[in-house]
A and B are shown apart, each in its own frame.
Chain A
Amino acid sequence: MDVYAKNNVRVVGNADGPALLLAHGFGCDQNLWRLVVERLSPDFRIVLFDHVGAGRSDPSAWDAERYASLNGYASDVLDIVRELDLHDVVFVGHSVAAMIGVLAVAAQPDRFAKLILLTPSPRYLDDDGYRGGFTRADIDEMLDSLESNYLGWSQAMAPVIMGMPDRPELGDELTDSFCRTDPAKALVFARTTFLSDNRSDLARVSVPTLVIECAHDTLAPREVGNYVRLHIAGSTIVTLDATGHCPHLSAPEATAEAIAAFST
């Protein structure tokens, strides 16, 4: 399958610049990178995409079994890298996509120059001697919240998400719906995201790695950021004076600067 259509791949920025592959996390789609892309595009060739099941990825590419594991998403990343013939690319992954990047880099390190993990967490659930910040009950509550908020989805959003070329007026609504996904797919991605444990994969990373965390992030608290730094050999960490889980939106300037400084 054509990866451009499958993952809604877009290439922007400076065609002669070093390549950045930006991967969005659970929740929305590549639009989340918008403010950072504005700042990076003069100097970098930027590859954006939507994970299958999110944004404007090809609905027919969805496979609940494949995408119940982060390896499914990581394979897609490798497909994109191969299809676009990217070499020495810097992978920037937000949230769960940070771990997708860890898996992709571990599988094929020769393609990647560097790895940037934006607000990463290798495991959201608490475990013996490890504090991810959440219990199984918390995650179930979140899944419930997802379901409650998708109540109106099937009727109202289905035509938009599925893409209806014969009804262009629906295109406008899409801008209002980039965080809305087919609930069945979102639930699978949510489970995959919040129930995965990738702590042991961190040691498999062999390229220079930067962790970017926020000073106040309830999803990926600082001790989790520190855990990631400690378990990826030679990695460094930058703590942004920002709140929330999406510094590329709340502190785009500082986020773009940190990405640019490490990538050049």
Chain B
Amino acid sequence: MTLHAHTNQPAASGAASSAQFVADNDVDDLYENAPCGYVSATPDGEITRVNATFAAMLGYHPRALVGMAFTELLTVGGRIHYETHFAPMLLLQGQLDGITVDLVAADGIRHPAFITANVRTDGDGQPTLLRIITQHARDRRAYERELLDSRNRAELERARAQELATTLQRSLIPPSLSPPPGLEAAAYYHAASVDEVSGDFYDLFPLTRDKWGFFLGDVCGKGADAAALTSLVRYTLRAAAVYDDDPVAVLHNLNTVLNHEYHGDDPRFCTVIFGVLTLGRGEGGVDVALASGGHPPAMLLSGDGPVRYLNTDGGQLVGVLAEPRFVCTRFHMAAGDTLALYTDGWTEARAGVERYDDHGALLEFAAEHSPTTAHALIAATRTLLDGFGADLQDDTAVLALGVPSHPDDAGETSVRRGGRGLDGQLD
């Protein structure tokens, strides 16, 4: 190797040539004793020259390394990696940057190192020499190992957290709906995040032989706090309804419990529709009484086509005020009628700058599918909401209750769940 320290010096004076001599010496010294290893090798990887630093690091005499394959200095595993990745990259791209390997010394000790290399080519572009630099990387590798371990631990933790959230989520909605004879029930549930428990909930449960309670709502917040609140809301609603099944009384009961449980500057509240179904004794159809506490109005899709919102305007949030107002509505569902309850994840799904229901799309959607059945409505809803993809940013729950046109369809049930972590039909 010929090394020139400088080429722009004027013709030598005595002092300059002495400086030149020192400079040349410095360059030779820099090559041999640089704080990194230098290796030259043929394109096949046969070592042709190494510097003193490299030989010393591995405990070889420099001449003993000449003629060896560079890959012989790698671990077996590293050699496979080199042959399958690094050699092709070097030959195709002419360089390698910051590759991590273990170099094996004469005594078998492994030295973590970074390798940087490039290729000298002849006039035709054919590779003629590999120039390789190796740098000690023990500390860096230890640090990187810690990073890797931390990442792996973090991934494990995340998986655990997701599993917890999913399990908790499952405990907050019924695994399947069991409607009484003469009623059909279906639900759709989409959790926006696998990491956090959503605040949407619903249920359908017997009160007496002829009376069934149902509710659907949305608690404020997300995560563990929301899960605890949802749990409290669910059990309060179910217990309160057993005591007094008037929907407004049930919501007042829930309001009192939330007021007692959460106060000061940390109010906890929810919006919810609570209703009671009274099965028609032999006459078919069901009588419904439902009350809303600040929740978007339910829809009634009648068996002969028309669709309407069930007016519960004026109902206030549950859990905020000491004496809130709740609005009750009573109606009869005949054969073929379907009742739909939903949370605002649906109506507020983003479509560009607008929300899904900014211009009445929800009622149009319902009208398009009416008359329908609880199952068909949920299937159509699922198709629609799945089509939203990432636009469905919030948790969404939809509950449909229907009186079958044909008595044979009665008592059917299904829960369709969307969203990551809660896939699959659970009924």
Which of A82-90, A132-140, A195-203 binds B? A132-140
- Least CB separation from A245: chain B residue: B83
Q: Contact: B71 with A27, CB < 8 Å?
A: no
Q: Is A71 an interface residue (CB 8 A)?
A: no
Q: Contact: B76 with A148, CB < 8 Å?
A: no
Q: Is A147 an interface residue (CB 8 A)?
A: yes
Known: A95-B84, A141-B76, A142-B78. A246 touches B91 (CB 8 A): yes
Q: How far in angstroms is the closest Cβ of chain A from B168? A: 27
Q: How far in angstroms is the closest Cβ of chain A from B424? A: 17
CA distance A143 to B148 in the complex (A): 13
Known: A149-B99, A244-B44, A244-B87. A142 touches B92 (CB 8 A): no
Task: Please classify how large the interface on chain B is, using the bins under 10, 10 to 19, 20 to 34, 35 or more.
Answer: 20 to 34
Q: Is A170 an interface residue (CB 8 A)?
A: no
Known: A145-B78, A148-B141. A32 touches B83 (CB 8 A): no
Q: Contact: A26 with B81, CB < 8 Å?
A: no
Q: Contact: B77 with A141, CB < 8 Å?
A: yes
Partner of A194, one of B80, B147, B148: B80
Known: A32-B92, A179-B85. A219 touches B80 (CB 8 A): yes
Q: Is A218 an interface residue (CB 8 A)?
A: yes
Partner of B93, one of A139, A140, A176, A244: A176
Q: Contact: A246 with B148, CB < 8 Å?
A: no
Q: Contact: A179 with B44, CB < 8 Å?
A: no
Q: Contact: B100 with A27, CB < 8 Å?
A: no
Q: Contact: B77 with A249, CB < 8 Å?
A: no
CA distance A134 to B83 in the complex (A): 14
Partner of A141, one of B75, B89, B93, B99: B75
CA distance A182 to B85 in the complex (A): 14
Q: How far in angstroms is the closest Cβ of chain B from A32? A: 6
**B102 / chain A contacts, CB cutoff of 8 Å:** 145
Q: Is B371 an interface residue (CB 8 A)?
A: no
Q: Contact: B84 with A27, CB < 8 Å?
A: yes
**A149 / chain B contacts, CB cutoff of 8 Å:** 81, 85, 99-100
Known: A148-B100, A148-B141, A243-B44. A142 touches B85 (CB 8 A): no
**B267 / chain A contacts, CB cutoff of 8 Å:** none
Q: Contact: A246 with B81, CB < 8 Å?
A: no
CA distance A61 to B12 in the complex (A): 68
CA distance A147 to B100 in the complex (A): 10
Partner of A249, one of B78, B88, B147: B88
- Least CB separation from A26: chain B residue: B84
Q: How far in angstroms is the closest Cβ of chain B from A250? A: 6
Contact with B along A75-111 (1 / 0, CB 8 A): 0000000000000000000010000000000000000
The interface on chain A, measured as residues whose beta carbon lies within 8 A of the other chain's beta carbons, has a size of 39
Contact with B along A51-91 (1 / 0, CB 8 A): 00000000000000000000000000000000000000000
Q: How far in angstroms is the closest Cβ of chain A from B211? A: 49
Q: Is A146 an interface residue (CB 8 A)?
A: yes
| Interface-central residue, B76, B86, B93, B99, by most chain A CB under 10 Å | B76
**B87 / chain A contacts, CB cutoff of 8 Å:** 244-246, 249-250
Known: A26-B84, A140-B77. A145 touches B91 (CB 8 A): no
| Interface-central residue, A26, A176, A217, A250, by most chain B CB under 10 Å | A250
Known: A32-B92, A244-B44. A142 touches B77 (CB 8 A): yes
Q: Contact: A28 with B88, CB < 8 Å?
A: yes
Q: How far in angstroms is the closest Cβ of chain A from B414? A: 28
Q: How far in angstroms is the closest Cβ of chain B from A7? A: 20
Known: A243-B44, A244-B45. A179 touches B144 (CB 8 A): no
Residues 72-113 of B at the A interface (beta carbon under 8 Å): 75-81, 83-89, 91-93, 99-102
Q: How far in angstroms is the closest Cβ of chain A from B86? A: 8
Q: How far in angstroms is the closest Cβ of chain A from B146? A: 11
Q: Is A1 an interface residue (CB 8 A)?
A: no
Contact with B along A184-218 (1 / 0, CB 8 A): 00000000001000000000000000000000111
Q: Is B324 an interface residue (CB 8 A)?
A: no
CA distance A249 to B69 in the complex (A): 18
CA distance A148 to B142 in the complex (A): 11
**B89 / chain A contacts, CB cutoff of 8 Å:** 28, 178-179
- Least CB separation from A145: chain B residue: B81
Contact with B along A24-47 (1 / 0, CB 8 A): 011110011010000000000000
Q: Contact: B93 with A218, CB < 8 Å?
A: no
CA distance A239 to B148 in the complex (A): 42
Q: Is B305 an interface residue (CB 8 A)?
A: no
**A218 / chain B contacts, CB cutoff of 8 Å:** 71, 79, 83
Q: Is A175 an interface residue (CB 8 A)?
A: yes
Q: Is A261 an interface residue (CB 8 A)?
A: no
Q: Is B43 an interface residue (CB 8 A)?
A: yes
Query: 13 A-B residue contacts at CB 8 Å?
Result: A26-B84, A27-B88, A138-B77, A141-B77, A142-B77, A149-B85, A151-B144, A243-B45, A243-B69, A244-B83, A245-B87, A249-B88, A250-B44
Known: A148-B141, A149-B85. 9 other contacts (CB 8 A): A142-B77, A143-B77, A147-B148, A151-B100, A178-B89, A218-B71, A244-B44, A250-B44, A250-B91
Ranked nearest first, the 4 interchain pairs of A and B with the lowest CB-CB distance are A141-B77, A27-B84, A142-B77, A243-B44
